[in-house]
Chains A and B, each alone.
Chain A
Amino acid sequence: MRLDLLPRDDVSRLREWLTPVVAFGVALIIGGVIVWLMGRSPVRAFQVYVTEPLSQGWAVQEILLKATPLMLIGIGLAFCYRADRWNIGAEGQFVIGGLCGGGVAVLTHGSGAWWVLPLMLMAGIAGGMLWAAIPASLRNRLGVSEILTSLMLVYMAQLLLDYMVRGPWRDPKAFNFPQSVMFDPAATLPPLLAGGRVHWGLVFALVAALAAWIVLNRTLLGFGIRALGEAPRSARFGGFNERRITLVVFLMSGGLAGLAGVAEVAGQIGQLQPSISPGYGFTAIIVAFLGRLSAPGIVLASLVMAMILIGAENAQIALKLPLDLARVFQGVLLFCLLGGEALTRHRVVLGRG
């Protein structure tokens, strides 16, 4: 028995957009089976994972809050992945961004000046860009795989944050525990609605999404990025500078991840701690694929992913379902999506032989 893949000549837009939805549905069914095998009611699990987070006001806020970094990072990754540059180090760029932005807050603690917050944001973006420039340059100059270099830099970024928080930037008044001072109000991202939890990071994310869509679809740079990813030889013949584009997409991705980092630190956490990310940089990779590397898709996908993650926490409390189930579900979802895409691009024929 063999599996033959016959490329489809025409792929309708409807089919393209239906694929992730169907993939999600299939993943839900598989998830339901796993839940059932673990001795819980799949229907109840669906409620806890999906409908409840969406029906409670405070839960919707939490979804938006959690989706913000995923959106920012995911959009940045879309630039890279469209150009066939595999930035796996967004987590590290996120951490460095938070570190740089938070560092500004620590160093200007007590000043209360109006320029602190903007400076923090710029520092965060710059930090993320710098961290992403390293794998980009290594690839451009020496042909070193960006997958591995960007990944190794994640570990190094985490260790650097750990060192700074335990050492030079440790709050002297916190009984020598590893954390920085709590940021001044002047160094905090204000909430969008008074008393709410959602902060301006969400606005940044949505603006970034819009800007990304425009750049990718309406500018020459965007065309070059897509060309590099889909038809590299033609892109080179067409005059696009491969190295420049590589650097640009990494800088954009790093900058956005860095922005997400400083937004998280200045909006959500309010200080620097040895660990500031529950794996956003890696979850965002899934979000990018789920959103099929398009800006509106990523916005939607980050909301869906945030919903799943929050639902998983509720399920831990309500149903004693372990958090790892959410990870399994994420993997299943990505597989279903990959399968769906393959089936969209090709017709699968099981033949003899």
Chain B
Amino acid sequence: MAFWLLVTLTIITAATPLLLAALGEHVTERAGVLNLGVEGMMIVGAAAAFAVAILTGSSILAILAGLSAGMVLAALFALFAVGLAANQVAAGLALTIFGTGLANLIGAGFIGMKRETIPSLWIPGLTELPVLGKLLFGQDPFVYASLALAVGIAWWLRATRGGLVLTGIGENHASAHALGHDVRRLRVLAVLFGGACAGLGGAYLSLVYTPFWSPGMTAGRGWIALAIVVFAGGRVWRLLLGAYLFGAMNVLQLHAQAGGIGLPSQLLSAIPYLATILALVALALRDRRRQSAVGSLGQPFIPDR
């Protein structure tokens, strides 16, 4: 197989968990809520998915478990950040710390166990096509789900009433409230959706990426997902670009090492993080005059009676 094809396939695997988590957080932030607890929700999803996979042997149940675990944690965040109007930054950090600890506790009993990865798609005839076969028809279900989700979310936000209302809440929650929308209820739903996506992203790590559990296996991917959401500046296609870009950075730095490029490995490892900062700067320079950040992001909303 061509080298570029192999590299692309590896990049797709690396980008998918980022994309899933970022899509969820994107919806949450569109509604005006900043949930910094993505890392916590992802890793709990990873632990729960793996635990259920070992206990029941069913991949479907495992995926549902990961999704639900993310949602449960998101609900906790929603209670404090939306329900009690607490400081969203603090609540998000609390969620990250709580989630990381909880995930390690759940996963502790399953360290060292293994299972088969979820099989990739296989359509006789199509998957065997040279070049495009594996790329288009040979991915695992999560990849297809992430792309479908991206398309679905983009459409929903732009073309449906629900999506437009959500965006409106994010821009100006006071006006939305005046128009009669239940700001808090919609925010809670957005937060829950974000949690489900993050949990799904985590489940991908422990079910497909490396089919076993290890403490801290998300390794900061949740934070990168947050960066991707900011990088996207409100556009879903930029979200896709960001996720694949960061996936690529991670993979390419390993390739540089294997290829014998004599740069220090620490420098190569630092590239994704540096790239995030540069991307944010580039974005800010471009959008100098435009207000691209969501207007009410991070501000708690307390409806007056």
Contact = CB atoms under 8 A, between A and B. Distances in A.
Do A and B touch each other in the complex, judged by CB within 8 A? yes
Interface of A: 3-5, 7, 86, 88, 138, 142-145, 147-149, 151-153, 155-156, 159-160, 162-163, 166-167, 282, 285-286, 289, 322, 324-332, 334-335, 338-339, 341-343, 346, 348
Contact of A334 (B85, B97, B215, B303): B97
Interface string B207-249: 0000000010000100100110010000000000000000000
Interface in B274-305: 274, 276-277, 280-281, 284-285, 288, 293, 302-303, 305
Nearest to B99: A331
A291 to B, nearest CB: 13
A182 to B, nearest CB: 23
Nearest to A34: B105
A324 B269 contact: no
Interface string B185-206: 0000000000000000000000
Contacts of B227: 148, 152
A113 B98 CA distance: 47
Interface in B90-111: 90-91, 93-102, 104-105, 108
Q: Chain B's interface: helix, strand, loop or mixed, by majority?
A: helix
A313 to B, nearest CB: 15
A159 B281 contact: no
A161 to B, nearest CB: 9
Contact of B266 (A4, A160, A329): A160
Nearest to A327: B101
A148 B87 CA distance: 17
B94 A335 contact: yes
Nearest to B287: A143
A303 to B, nearest CB: 19
Contacts of B86: 338-339, 341-342
Nearest to A342: B84
Contacts of B64: none
Contacts of B230: 145, 148
Nearest to A6: B305
Given A159-B266, A342-B86, A327 B104 contact: yes
A148 B226 contact: yes
B163 interface: no
B229 to A, nearest CB: 10
Contacts of A282: 93, 97
A328 B83 contact: no
B280 A331 contact: no
A257 B280 CA distance: 25
Contacts of A7: 302
Contacts of A330: 97-98, 101
Contacts of B98: 327-328, 330-332, 334-335
Nearest to B231: A148
Given A3-B83, A163-B267, A155 B220 contact: yes
Nearest to B229: A148
B105 to A, nearest CB: 5
A144 B284 contact: yes
A3 B303 CA distance: 10
A151 B96 CA distance: 14
Given A4-B305, A152-B274, A322 B108 contact: yes
Nearest to B283: A144
Interface residues of B, number: 49
Given A334-B90, A339-B80, A346-B85, A144 B281 contact: yes
B108 A162 contact: no
A138 B264 CA distance: 27
Contacts of A339: 80, 84, 86
Contacts of A143: 284, 293
Contact of A145 (B87, B102, B280, B305): B280
A349 to B, nearest CB: 10
A279 to B, nearest CB: 10
Contact of B273 (A3, A155, A166): A155
B270 interface: yes
Contacts of B280: 138, 144-145, 148-149
B67 to A, nearest CB: 21
B101 A325 contact: yes
Nearest to B86: A338
A88 B273 CA distance: 15
Contacts of A4: 303, 305
B76 interface: yes
B90 A142 contact: no
A134 to B, nearest CB: 8
Contact of B97 (A152, A327, A343): A327
**Nearest 4 interchain pairs by C-beta:** A331-B98, A327-B101, A342-B84, A334-B94
Contacts of A153: 273, 277
A338 B220 CA distance: 25
A149 B305 CA distance: 39
A30 B271 CA distance: 42
Contacts of B102: 324, 328, 331
A346 B223 CA distance: 32
A7 B129 CA distance: 65
Contacts of B288: 142
Nearest to B227: A148
Nearest to A274: B266
Contacts of A341: 86
A162 B220 CA distance: 18
Contacts of B273: 152-153, 155-156
12 contacts: A3-B84, A5-B302, A147-B226, A153-B277, A289-B90, A324-B101, A325-B105, A334-B90, A339-B86, A342-B84, A342-B86, A346-B85
A348 B285 CA distance: 44
Given A144-B280, A328-B98, 19 more contacts: A5-B84, A5-B302, A144-B284, A152-B273, A156-B274, A160-B270, A162-B266, A163-B267, A167-B264, A282-B93, A322-B104, A324-B101, A324-B105, A324-B108, A325-B105, A330-B97, A335-B91, A338-B94, A341-B86
